[in-house]
Structures are given as C-alpha cells and as structure tokens.
Amino acid sequence: MTAQRKWQLWRTGVFLAALAPLVLWSGQVASNAAGPEPGRYLLLNIGLGGLWMLLLTLSLTPLTKLTRWKGFALIRRQLGLWTLAYASLHLLSYALFILGLDWAMLGSELIERPYILVGLLALIGLVALGATSNRWSMRRLGKRWKPLHKLSYPILGLILLHFFWGVRADLGEWTLYATASALIMATRLPPVARRLPRLRQRLISA
Amino acid sequence: MLIKIAKPSDLRESDVTPESVYLSRRRFMGGMAGLGAGLALSGRAKASADYSDVPDGDAPAWLQAKLGAARPRAIVPDDPEKDAIAPFGDASGYNNFYEFGTGKSDPARHADGLETQPWSVVIDGEVNNGGRFNLEDFASPSHFEERIYRLRCVEAWSMVIPWLGISLADVIKRAEPTSKARYVRFETLVDPEQMPGQRSSFSLIDWPYVEGLRLDEAMQPLTLLALGMYGRELPNQNGAPLRLVVPWKYGFKSIKSIVRISLVEEQPVNSWQRIAPEEYGFYANVNPEVDHPRWSQATERRLPNSLFNPNTLDTRMFNGYADEVAELYAGMDLRKHF
C-alpha cells in the first residue's frame, strides 16, 4: 500500500467514525428508542457531540508534539469542520424540533435564555473558521491565519459557558468537560508546550 | 341574610346519582372486589383493563388489594382527547429524580435496586397523633382512588398520568394537627448506598430533598399521596412507594419516596428554593405569566411528541385547575410568591 493510500484510508476512517454517532442517534429516533422527546434527544446529543469534536480537534496539536505522528495533523481540518457541522446541526435541531420553526418564539427565547446567544456566538466563530479553512484562505490571510484560528480557544470557552448556563442541579458532567478543556488548553502554555517534545524523548527511551 | 354563591365545583341536584345506577354500582363494586381478589391472587393489581401493556409490579398483597379496589377514574381531565394519557414507558422512563442522576433516563436506569419493602413514614411536628408508621398502617385506612392529572414540569414539558393513591387531607386529619400547624414539610429518603445521585460530590442539592405545602394547600382535595400509577404500584423511578402529586404546581413540588411528613409552624425551605431562590419559589404554582429566569413558562411541550411536531400547548393558569385552587391564592401577588 502506498503511503498516500494509507493516509487516504486513515482520513476516511476518521470521517466514518465522526459520522457514526449521527447515524446511531437518527436510527434510535427512527426506531422509537430515543424516548418521548426525540427532538430534545437529538439536540442534546448533537450539542455534546460538537463539544467532543472541538476537544478532539484541539488535542491534535499536543498529540502531534508528543508523538510526531503525521496522522494527527492530517485530520485537523476535517475534525474542525465536523465541529462546525455538529454545531450547525445542533442549531438546526433547536430550530426544527424545539421551536418548530416558530420564529416569533425565537425572539422571546433569545431574551429569556441568554445561553442561546452565547451558543450562537460560538457558532458564528466556528463559521468564520470553517470559511477560512481552505488553502486559498490560508494563502490570502498569510500570517494572520494562525491568530485568526486561535479563535477556537475563546470559542471553547463560549461553549463551556453555554453548557454551564443550562445546568440545573449537578455540575458533575460539566466539570468533566471543563477539566478536559483545561488540560488540553494547558498543553498550549509555553512552559508545558516546550516540554512536550522532551516528554516524548523520555517516553521513547523508557 | 345568607347569600350562597355556588362554586363551579359544587354539586347540583342533577349531579345526584339515580338510585338504580347507585345500586348497580354496588353490584359492579362487588364484581370488582371479586375481580380484584382474583387479580391479586394472580399477582396483578390493575385498576382498569386499559393498562394491559403495563408490566406487572411486585407490590405486597395488601397494596395490590387496595390498588385493585381503587375507585377507577375518580378525577379525569375535562378534555380526555387533548389530555390523552402518556404511554407507561414514557411516564416511567423519562422523568426527573435527582437522587438517581440528573439525566431523564437515569431514574429508570438506576432506581431498580431501591428497597421499598418494608417502608415506614414518620409523621411528626405539630400533631397529636404522630409516630412512625409502616406503609400499610399509614395508607390502608384511606380510600384509594385513581386520578388522571396533567403533570407540568418546570422545564416546560408535561405528561398526563393516571395516579392511584389517597388524599393527603385524610392522612393529615388522622394525625390530628395542633392549632400551631400551618405548613406541611416532606422529606425524601436519604440513602447514598441505594441512590447514586446522593453520592455525587458535584450535586447542588443538600440532601434530603425537602418540599412543603401550606396547610390549606395540603388539605385541598386534589392533593394526592400516590402509591400507584397505571393500575399498578409506583415504579421505583417514579417515587415508590409513596409520593406527593400536586397537579396545579410544577412537578418538583411532587416529592418522591417520602419518609417523613412534618406539620410545622414556619414555612419550610424547599430544596430548589434553597439552590436558586431567584428561579424557584415556595409556591411554584403553574403560571404562564411568570417566566422562569432562563425560559418561558407560557407554553409547554406535551409528551410524547415527535420530531417535527413539538406538540406545544399553551400552559394554563394553575395547570388548568384554577376553578378548584385559585381561591387559595386570592389577594396574593403571584409574581412575588412564585
């Protein structure tokens, strides 16, 4: 197998794995296994799936530093776009299944549930990143591309706030995601980031 | 001069049951009693044949007999078409019972092991006739009824559920409240071994879960202590073996798996009020005009719904029980006392 073919397979595998939860949840809705509120079931699962996608995307850089495996860098754009796809589907589920396309209700919902605005802001950020994720934009933006794409950090913060605001009585699940986020972000602190390649050396020699 | 204004719920001459019907009712009851005994022997306790798809429970014999002899459909919604009973699987598989986790399917997943036999209830505080009662002594002196109520969750969804139980007023009368009793305070079981939600170190609830009613709310005839639903005893996840059902208040008032009922002088601080007093009050009456700070209460999603039909209904004042209960709150500012 040529190297190119190998990477092609890897990317396709990642694509199918990222698609699988959506297929699974749709199947559960279709077979009436998603409970009495299937729209909300999709909404919440897809939203959480989007957070997973963003956390996975942001894990790729530290993983690359730690392992120097080329595969991680190769799926970064794809996972970033999956984050955007999940976030968009999350909003679409809200509009279709919760609002029932009742736009008059949207106005009052936005005022009464400020966390929806926070989520919307995060989605707008993701759209900006998705729109500039192609090679042409990278060339055009040049040096500005990288700082622009560091917007993914504040976007993660907005998503965690969006999630936190909806919690009613138990912060356990949220705390898990917030901790994972903090760990992933900590690998970007210069002192930690510098040590990652050294940690790799130690792991290899051990 | 005494001017008597008939309340909508007052009985009229035309409401009197003709004797022939009454007598045939006795025959029917006799038949039902026999049927009930037969069903009890076969391990079933169904108040009516409508629940053929509902799995059998494991109630003790005395409870099966009481449930089987309950007066069927004593209270029903005025529009049974619109307020159709939710499937048992939805009512028992999708609810909040934070003692077993915060997800809607957590209670059904984790409540299986809850030991409800034996069960005892303490009645204490401002009563002459308090003490610790086993569930049978507590409930069996009362008359059992089936009541089909709308249940409106504070999260803006609702279901219609057929409960089986006894009137709370009856229990309180037997306890003989003293003149100092002004409120009723309820407590749920605390048992972290059996209740995983109580083991969570991130829970904002300070266990035990506490709820309360004003004495006149507790004595309102609609207020029910449920021991069963869908013709059988309560599934654990729905608050077995004893829970409150106050149909004109948000669901969180209807405290589950009750172990203690206290008659008290001071207004109790209920659990949700303690966590977030700006979001949840003591009264928690269903009120479409007073929104939750994070969402509207003007409408509700009637469950089960489907993907492209959220089944959104306008929420009714006091959840549609205003004729019966509005007078309890006459002159009160319901925006302040939410």
Phi and psi of A203, rounded to 5°? -65, -40
Grouped pLDDT means (10 residues each) for chain B, 338 residues: 60 60 52 47 47 91 96 95 95 95 92 95 98 97 98 96 98 98 98 94 91 98 98 97 98 98 98 93 97 87 91 95 97 94
Distance between CA atoms of A159 and A50, rounded to whole angstroms? 9
Looking at chain B, the number of H-run helices and the number of E-run strands are: 9, 13
Pick from B86, B203, B293: CB nearest A169: B203
Cβ–Cβ contact A95 with B under 8 A: no
Which of A30-34, A165-169, B22-26 is modeled with the greatest confidence? A30-34
| DSSP per-residue letters across B203-253 | B---SSPEEEEEHHHHHSTT-EEEEEETTEEPPGGGTTT-EEE-TTB-GGG
Residue in chain B closest to A96 (alpha carbons) equals: B308
Cβ–Cβ contact B313 with A under 8 A: no
Inspect the interface and report whether the beta carbons of B202 and A39 lie closer than 8 Å.
no
Question: Which chain B positions have a beta carbon within 8 Å of A165's beta carbon?
Answer: 294
> How much is the ipTM here?
0.76
Top residue of A25, A28, A37 to mutate, by most chain B CBs within 10 Å, is: A37
Query: To the nearest whole percent, how much of chain A has pLDDT over 70?
Result: 99
Beta-strand pair B210-214/B232-233: unpaired
Q: Kindly report which listed range (A2-16, A32-46, B32-46, B110-124) carries the lowest average pLDDT score.
A: B32-46
Give the pair of three-digit tokens for residue B41: 């022997």
A146, A169 in Cβ contact below 8 A?
no
Chain mean position to CA A140: 25
* Of A64, A61, A68, A72, the residue nearest A152 (C-alpha): A61
Cβ–Cβ contact B97 with A under 8 A: no
List Cα–Cα distances, B142 to B66, B164, B263, in angstroms. 9, 12, 19
B124, B108 in Cβ contact below 8 A?
no
Distance between CA atoms of B247 and B332, rounded to whole angstroms? 20
DSSP state of B47: S
Inspect the interface and report whether the beta carbons of B305 and A37 lie closer than 8 Å.
yes
Give the pair of three-digit tokens for residue B319: 């959840």
Specify the pLDDT at position A85. Answer: 98
Cβ–Cβ contact B250 with A under 8 A: no
Chain mean position to CA B13: 31
Specify the pLDDT at position B263. Answer: 98
Specify the pLDDT at position B310. Answer: 86
β-partners of residue B261 are B123, B186
Long-range contacts of A59-67 (CB under 8 A, 24+ apart): A59/A184, A61/A187, A61/A188, A62/A184, A62/A187, A62/A188, A62/A193, A62/A196, A65/A187, A65/A193, A65/A196, A65/A197, A65/A200, A66/A196, A66/A197, A66/A199, A66/A200, A66/A203, A67/A200
Cβ–Cβ contact B278 with A under 8 A: no
CA distance B251 to chain A (A): 15
Question: Which chain B positions have a beta carbon within 8 Å of A170's beta carbon?
Answer: 98, 101-102, 197, 200, 202-205
Specify the pLDDT at position B17. Answer: 61
Scan for tokens 């802001």, then name that residue: A121
Specify the pLDDT at position B200. Answer: 86
- Sorted by where each begins, the domain ranges of chain A are 3-205
Specify the pLDDT at position B40. Answer: 43
Residues in chain B: 338
Residue in chain A closest to B273 (alpha carbons) equals: A169
Cβ–Cβ contact B204 with A under 8 A: yes
Distance between CA atoms of A13 and B236, rounded to whole angstroms? 43
At residue A204 the predicted structure's pLDDT band, cuts being 50, 70 and 90, is: confident
Residue in chain A closest to B204 (alpha carbons) equals: A169
Specify the pLDDT at position A109. Answer: 75
Maximum Cα–Cα distance for chain A, whole Å? 63
Q: For residue B252, how many other CB atoms are within 10 A of its CB?
A: 21
Distance between CA atoms of B133 and A145, rounded to whole angstroms? 72
Cβ–Cβ contact B109 with A under 8 A: no
Question: Which chain A positions have a beta carbon within 8 Å of B155's beta carbon?
Answer: 168
pLDDT in tens, A132-161: 999 999 999 999 999 999 999 999 999 999
Query: How confident is the prediction for chain A on average, in pLDDT?
Result: 92
Question: Which chain B positions have a beta carbon within 8 Å of A103's beta carbon?
Answer: none
Top residue of B159, B294, B307 to mutate, by most chain A CBs within 10 Å, is: B307
Give the pair of three-digit tokens for residue B152: 């409106």
